[in-house]
Amino acid sequence: MPTADKLYEKTVLSNGVRVVTGEMTGVRSASLILYFGVGSRYERAAESGVSHFLEHMVFKGTERRPDPITISQEIEGVGGILNAATGRESTNYWFKVPSTHFADAFDVLADIVRNSVIDETELDKERSVIVEEIRSVNDSPEDLVHDVIDDLVWGDQGVGRPIAGTEATVRAITRDGMVDYWKRNYRPDRLVISAAGDVRHADVVALAERHFGDLAATAEPDTFEPTRNDQREARVRIVDRETEQAQLVLAMPALPYTTDARYVQSTIEAVLSSGMSSRLFQEIREKRGLVYSVYAYFRPYEDVGQGVFYAGTDPERIDEAATALIGEMRRMRDEPVPDDELARTKELRKGRLLMGLEDSRSVASWIGSQELTYGEIRTPEEVTERIEAVTVAEVQELSQQLFRRDVMNVALVGPYKDAERLAQIVAGL
């Protein structure tokens, strides 16, 4: 079933697996992404980290491919790339190969996500690897501050817990518990198979039918509880640590991806943080010289979102950096974005969107993530129309909704103790 302009095609297998493709001319690569609609926020608190742990384990071997080196060599031996990622609402496995090897690579990816043996010895070895991964975050102030802010904003809810879990929860995960989680949640109605590049839709559907046509739902899947947010005043959390640079994050609840106002929200992000001409870069780095790295982003989920402002600064200039970040929020909220700045931002967004779709993996990600998230695929042209439609008034109205002192959260990792001072700075918003 092609889309309106025949850029993308979609077929739903009889068991509910969705297959989407984007055929590209002039490329010799082919990419495949298997999206499963389950991630860390679906986990119970006691099993936090199991989605990420499982993602690691499927690469450890199947009956046909008994070890990780066999799996990786089949892809890398033809020049391909193989990887995976776990998020809070989805997990994906992907490869990119020369298109002549697409069918063989499809067999590899299908085999590992369906037939991994989850060997007990390998499980214990990988457990140690993940524990070290968690410790590396705790040893990296720039990574740690993002875990701190997530917990500060959301607490012990799925969107607030670390995707990798904690040392305690990872150590408690058993093979039986992991396999049960895997079988419950890697089910046909949660799977989107997305392919792009030098591929043909009918061929991809045939491969999907061969490898996933018999996938069945065997038990009730896990679900997540809607996120609660009852914040009424600013919150500050400091991890006082002797570091050469202080890591500062300000964050607030934001919009989910289920509203069309997300296009306004992403426009605000672009004004603040897209490129060297953005406001944060120009004002806080170039004009004030406060930081080397500064940025902002919005992370939307199904029922809620989160806005994040980050700056890494000299410990002696923490107050100044925090004041500058608050100043840019206040500017977005209180002053309409000039027409010419909004127009430039729109052109930047549209240009980067189009340039980002020149690679087969990018196109597979574009169509697969949209299908998984929204159940439909918008073309780049349809999205650019939505970007172009954003108005100055909408940007200011949403900024007023988002940038409020009563929902502001501040996390800092560095040699600093004055939480009251940071709270006073936020009070200036």
pLDDT at 1 > cutoff 80? no
The C-alpha atoms of residue 326 and residue 346 are separated, in whole angstroms, by: 24
β-strand partners of 62: 116
Tens-place pLDDT, residues 170-219 = 999 999 999 999 999 999 999 999 999 999 999 999 999 999 999 999 99
Q: Which residues of 306-331 are buried (b: 16+ CB within 10 A; e: fewer)?
A: bbbbbbbbeeebbeebbbbbbebbeb
- Please identify which of the residues 9, 23, 47, 55 carries the catalytic annotation: 55
CATH code that applies to domain 8-212: 3.30.830.10
Third-level CATH fold of 235-426: Cytochrome Bc1 Complex; Chain A, domain 1 (3.30.830)
Tens-place pLDDT, residues 92-127 = 999 999 999 999 999 999 999 999 999 999 999 999
Confidence of residue 76 (pLDDT cuts 50, 70, 90): very high
pLDDT at 168 > cutoff 50? yes
- Specify the pLDDT at position 87: 98
Tens-place pLDDT, residues 231-251 = 999 999 999 999 999 999 999
Mean pLDDT confidence for 156-182 = 97
- Specify the pLDDT at position 6: 63
**133: exposed, middle or buried (Cβ count in 10 Å: 0-12, 13-18, 19+):** middle
pLDDT at 140 > cutoff 50? yes
CB-CB contact of 266 with 386 (8 Å): no
Tens-place pLDDT, residues 267-282 = 999 999 999 999 999 9
**Nearest-5° angle of CA 71, CA 76, CA 80?**
115
Mean pLDDT confidence for 2-16 = 79
- Structure-model confidence comparison of residues 4 and 265, the more confident one: 265
pLDDT at 2 > cutoff 60? no
Tens-place pLDDT, residues 340-357 = 999 999 999 999 999 999
- Specify the pLDDT at position 356: 92
φ/ψ of residue 305, rounded to 5: -140, 180
Tens-place pLDDT, residues 210-226 = 999 999 999 999 999 99
In the chain, the percentage of residues whose pLDDT exceeds 70 is 99
Confidence of residue 3 (pLDDT cuts 50, 70, 90): very low
Confidence of residue 7 (pLDDT cuts 50, 70, 90): confident
Name the segment(s) of the chain with CATH classification 3.30.830.10. 8-212, 235-426
CA distances for 88 relative to 48, 78, 188, 409, angstroms: 11, 32, 19, 21
- 269 classed as catalytic: no
